[in-house]
Amino acid sequence: MCHQSVGLIARHAEAAGIPTLCMGSALDILQAVYPPRAAFLDYLLGHTTGKPFEPELQRAILLEALEAFSALTQPGQIKRLPFRWAEDDDWKDGVMNDGDTRTPRQDTPQYQTEADRVLAEQNNPEACEVCAVSA
Amino acid sequence: MQKPPVDYIKRITDNYAALGYKTYQWVHNEDTPPWTPLTKPLSECRLGLIASGGIYVTGQVAFHTKDDFSFRSIPKDVTTSDLRTAHFAYDQTDARRDPNVVFPIDTLRRLEAEGVIGELADHAFTFMGGIYSTRKVREALAPQLTEQLKAERVDVALLVPV
């Protein structure tokens, strides 16, 4: 769904005169939303711009992706980036095959840590529901 | 063995049908996308970054996960270890260890220093991309982010979903 949202934003920005490039690791969703320019990285979701703590790989991926700005000359083209997640593609078999792995959706801020919450509520008193009630 | 790209729409549809969920209507655009040609090389362009992985900086209010269509503005000189994620639909483990896997801030700062891109815009913009309402994306978030990109005077925009 992230890919869909990003594709819609890219279409809007491009129509407003800003050349865009959407990266992505879900090829079918990219094709469906059909953004102006895209670069497809055939990786496990959650790694759209590389693997953790591999800055040389991250750099190589971004260089290949950015090259799409000059390589793609027609609207709607997708450049396939020359990287593989693993030596074999067995990881693809297990993707989305184990029920609903999403965490339940919540309408309150989902802080990564409790310290983040404390700091954010100090900085943004209006965002703190408990403070708002007691104020 | 090499296998074709994962067919996410089919797998998600089958998966949730089996769980008894209502079918989600994915966007299928048929019309040719809009097009704005680049007028100068990337090495002379000011690049804006937009990422949908729910990235925020410590001190900011985190995203909620029920169609939150707000965005955060992240200064280009942010300390990478101050970056956090709030999302519900992807495994955030690696993004929390190294945000560059979904928010390539160190990578772009390096490409700026190397002269591959002319300049990185002063702010990047982030949101929580798992928004079911395409109306909210089309009518609220997309126009707002486009305005931000214009205010940042970007020549090109790089968009990174998860």
- The model's pLDDT over B67-126, given as tens digits with 9 standing for 90+, comes to 999 999 999 999 999 999 999 999 999 999 999 999 999 999 999 999 999 999 999 999
**A97 inside domain:** no
**A122 inside domain:** no
Q: What is the mean pLDDT of chain A?
A: 92
Quickly state the pLDDT bin for A135 (edges 50, 70, 90).
very low
pLDDT digits (tens, 9 = 90+) for A19-42: 999 999 999 999 999 999 999 999
- With a CB-CB cutoff of 8 Å, which residues 26-55 of chain A face chain B? 26-29, 32-36, 40, 42, 45-53, 55
Of B101, B127, B160, the CB nearest to A52: B101
For position B21, what pLDDT does the model report?
87
Size of interface A-B (CB pairs under 8 A): 298
Quickly state the pLDDT bin for A130 (edges 50, 70, 90).
low
**A79 inside domain:** yes
The token duo for B113 is 């220093």
Quickly state the pLDDT bin for A134 (edges 50, 70, 90).
very low
Quickly state the pLDDT bin for A131 (edges 50, 70, 90).
low
Kindly list the residues from chain B whose CB atom is less than 8 angstroms away from the CB atom of residue A63.
111, 116
| Total domains present in chain A | 1
Query: Between chains, do B27 and A102 touch, taking CB under 8 Å as contact?
Result: no
Long-range contacts made by residues A73-78, C-beta under 8 angstroms, separation at least 24?
A75/A36, A75/A37, A75/B32, A75/B33, A75/B34, A75/B35, A76/A34, A76/A35, A76/A36, A76/B32, A76/B33, A77/A37, A77/A38, A78/A27, A78/A30, A78/A31, A78/A38, A78/A39, A78/A40
Of B26, B34, B141, the CB nearest to A11: B34
Q: Where are the domains of chain B?
A: 40-160
**A107 inside domain:** no
Residue A81 forms contact with B (CB below 8 Å): no
Quickly state the pLDDT bin for A126 (edges 50, 70, 90).
confident
Task: Quote the domain boundaries for residue A69.
Answer: 2-87
Angle at A6 between CA B20 and CA A82, to 5 degrees: 100
For position A129, what pLDDT does the model report?
56
For position A100, what pLDDT does the model report?
81
Mean predicted confidence (pLDDT) in A87-97: 91
DSSP readout, A1-38?
Answer: -HHHHHHHHHHHHHHTT--EEEEES-HHHHHHH--SEE
The token duo for B15 is 């998966």
Comparing alpha-carbon positions, the chain B residue that sits nearest to A13 is B146
Q: What is the Cα–Cα distance from B162 to A112, expressed in whole angstroms? A: 17
pLDDT digits (tens, 9 = 90+) for B19-45: 888 888 999 999 999 999 999 999 999
Comparing alpha-carbon positions, the chain A residue that sits nearest to B162 is A46
Comparing alpha-carbon positions, the chain A residue that sits nearest to B58 is A116
In this prediction, the answer to ipTM > 0.95 reads yes
**A104 inside domain:** no
**A66 inside domain:** yes
**A114 inside domain:** no
Shortest Cα distance, chain B CAs vs residue A7, angstroms: 8
Of A1, A12, A113, the CB nearest to B130: A1
**A128 inside domain:** no
